[in-house]
Amino acid sequence: PLWIIDPVDGTANFAAGKPLFAVMVAYVVDGETQAGWIYDPVRAMMAIAVKGEGAQLDGRPLRVPDFKPDGPICGRVNFGSFPEPRRPALRTRFRDRFMIEDSLRCVGQEFLALVQGQFQFRLYNRLWAWDHAPGVLLLQEAGGHVARVDDAPYRPTERTGALLCSGDIGLWSTLSDYMQAD
């Protein structure tokens, strides 16, 4: 068993006095996240996920809102996950099709926003367990879909490959196909 703790996720925000930071904790057994917590101390908001038992936000069951394919699709993309020669064209393609927002510079806050439907997807290029283990479980237990871009499952013991997170498996598949197309 392993406890993974990020006491101040969004350290640069915290140091700059911005309210976008979180405390993140995950409990991992045999390379699988069994439980995760994300706490927003500014809003006194606690999200909890237990593998196979669902997710909660402030003690209430948490489900990702239904995806509306006819509405705007908004997300955050780290283009560093793609080879340098592909980045300019992909930036243009993504911005032409989706509303791309800047990173919140706090993965915990991004997972909280994603499970509440404030945006529909996020692509990360760094797979640090302290950033993703609790949030991935939270999103999965709330009904979302998370996998590496190569469709391999996320495991907190692996640090390679881009991670695509979405509140809807259909949107996840569309985005994955979109990234693979030339």
Q: What is the pLDDT of residues 56-87, one digit of tens each?
A: 999 999 999 998 888 889 999 988 878 899 88
Q: In sequence order, which residues have a C-beta less than 8 Å from that of residue 68 and are 6 or more positions away?
A: none
16 or 94, which is more confident: 16
Query: pLDDT band at 94, cuts 50/70/90?
Result: confident
Mean pLDDT, residues 24-43: 98
